[in-house]
Structure 1
Amino acid sequence: MGCVKLFEDYLPKRPYHTDDLISGLKINKKEKAKLARLIQPNGPTHRYWMVFDLDRTDAGMHWDSVGAPAPNLIARNPANGHAHLLYLLQTPVRTAMDGKTAPLRYAAAVEAGLRSRLGADRGYSGLICKNPINAHWMVHQWQADPYTLDDLADYIDLTQEKAREKPVEDYGLGRNCMLFDQLREWAYKAIRQGWPDYNQWLNACLDRATGYNVNFSTPLDISEVKHTAKSVAKWTHRNFTRGTFDDYVARTHTSKIQAIRGKKGGKAKGKTKRERGIILLEAGASIQQVMKELNVSRATAYNWRETP
């Protein structure tokens, strides 16, 4: 199956699209939207394509001269040579923060490294791209097979371990990571103020997420902001009740040192070891403290910390 056909298959059900950015974006069913010159390649919850914007006359072959991987698709403007380079991911990255966050952080680091290597536009939001289905563009398929994140990372000398050490930046997928981190850090403290019902809490999370988003140099689309806000709201409202917090305070006496002094074992006071570990981490305990408190490995404690 060609990559242009895959592009069509993976389009969102109701993508943004337009023939002219000056006239603004529209939303329609895929069958109508796919006829437009510009279209939304990824939905609000999954990233199938990494797309880079190159505003240069030699954009069609620049990737080769800088030692970047061959794009799956290139859509070029015949008037000036500027292009969008599209890389298809073998396993789509979940951008809605209701799964593991480690793959998204890895993808964000890979994306940032490729953007730097290609010299692509950092201000490009990624919301819409030149539509390779539309005959207006000069379209070329270079690579038929999709890439794994490890495949792409090989071109920028990046491992998952190195990716964890890289600071998150407020563009591309880094914005999703940054929004989630800022929102959940606020949420863990804010929910204690009145213990609101779920609808109140969801609206509060959405308001806060919207405020964080407008501070990004290129804000995320509101649909992605809503998904992140809902994810944080659901998790904190389910796991941070007055009862679980009082239980934590009673066991730790609010002291970080005493937070690691407790009965070791699989369960205590109705909580599994995993649940206790997550609560400790969210309340401020370090990886080392949780390892000692619950007698678990560094990898286990780290995975608990990455749980949204």
Structure 2
Amino acid sequence: MGCIQLFEDYLPKRPYHTDDLISGLKINKKEKAKLARLVQPNGPTHRYWMVFDLDRSDAGMHWDNVGAPAPNLIARNPANGHAHLLYLLQTPVRTASDGKTGPLRYAAAVEAGLRSRLGADRGYSGLICKNPINSHWMVHQWRDDAYTLDDLADYIDLTPEKAKEKPVEDYGLGRNCILFDELRAWAYKAIRQGWPTYERWLKACLDRATGYNINFTTPLDISEVKHTAKSVAKWTHRNFNRGTFDDYIARTHTSRIQAVRGKKGGKANGKTKREQGIAMLQSGASVQQIMKKVQVTKKTVYNWKKSK
């Protein structure tokens, strides 16, 4: 199956689309939207394509000049040579916050590295791209096979371990990481201030997420913001209610007490278990009594008997 057919197959059910950015974006069913010159390649929850915007007359071959991987598809403007380069991912990256954060962070680091190597437009939001299905563009397919993240990372000397060390950039998939991290950090504390109903909590999470989003140089589409807000709201409301929080505090308090006791070597009344056991031996207590009282094994008590 060719990449152009895959592009059509992976289009969202109701993508944004337009023939002219000046007239604004529309939303329609895929069957109609796929005919437009510009269309949304990825939905709000999964990233099938990494898309880069090159505003230069030699955009069609610039990737080869800088040692970048061959794009699966290039859709090029016949008037000025500017192009969108599309890389198909073998495993789509889940961008919603209920997905695993590790692959998302890795993908964000790979994307940022490729953008830098290609010299692609940092201000490009990625929401819509030149539609390779539409005959208005000069379209070329350079590669049939989809890329793994590791395949792409080879071109920028990046491993998953290095990706974890790199700061997340306010660009592309990095925005999804930043939004999720900031929103959940706020939510863990904010939900305890009154334990709101789910409807009120969802609105609060969406308002907060929207506030974070507008601080990005190029904000995410509102559909992505809504998905992240809903995921965080749903998880925190289910796991952080008054009852579960009280249980959490109690467990934490018990764990801290046990940790302190462990650091003290199991002291009681200022004495270690060994000191207690030897004192009980000296007072004539039996091995069974000491085992039960001090909570140690029979072998330990016998060792104390030998050393006293």
Q: After TM superposition, is the score higher than 0.5?
A: yes
CA distance in 2, matches of 1:251, 1:19: 59
CA distance in 1, matches of 2:157, 2:65: 17
> One-letter code of the match for 2:88?
L
Give the structure 2 partner of residue 101 of structure 1.
Answer: 101
Give the structure 1 partner of residue 26 of structure 2.
Answer: 26
> One-letter code of the match for 1:37?
R
Any conservation in 2 of the 1:74–1:83 contact (CA below 8 Å)?
A: yes
Residue 227 of structure 2: SS of its match in structure 1?
helix
Give the structure 2 partner of residue 258 of structure 1.
Answer: 256
CA distance in 1, matches of 2:257, 2:11: 48
Q: 1:70–1:260: structure 2 CA closer, same or farther, 3 Å change rule?
A: farther
> One-letter code of the match for 2:229?
A
Q: 1:39–1:260: structure 2 CA closer, same or farther, 3 Å change rule?
A: farther
> One-letter code of the match for 1:10?
Y
Q: 1:163–1:39: structure 2 CA closer, same or farther, 3 Å change rule?
A: same
Residue 89 of structure 2: SS of its match in structure 1?
strand
Give the drift of 1:244: 2.2
Any conservation in 2 of the 1:251–1:259 contact (CA below 8 Å)?
A: no
Give the drift of 1:259: 8.2
With normalisation by structure 2, the TM-score equals 0.82
CA offsets per residue over residues 6-43 of structure 1, 9 Å max, x none? 10111011110001000000011111111110000000
Q: 1:228–1:263: structure 2 CA closer, same or farther, 3 Å change rule?
A: farther
Q: 1:35–1:260: structure 2 CA closer, same or farther, 3 Å change rule?
A: farther
Does residue 125 of structure 1 match 2:125? yes
> One-letter code of the match for 1:258?
R
Aligned residues: 262
Does residue 81 of structure 1 match 2:84? no
Residue 91 of structure 1: SS of its match in structure 2?
strand
CA offsets per residue over residues 117-145 of structure 1, 9 Å max, x none? 00000000000000000011000000110
Give the structure 2 partner of residue 221 of structure 1.
Answer: 221
With normalisation by structure 1, the TM-score equals 0.82
CA distance in 2, matches of 1:224, 1:186: 18
Residue 155 of structure 2: SS of its match in structure 1?
helix
CA distance in 1, matches of 2:252, 2:52: 49
CA distance in 2, matches of 1:230, 1:170: 22
Give the structure 1 partner of residue 138 of structure 2.
Answer: 138
Flag structure 1 segments of 5+ consecutive residues without an equivalent. 265-308
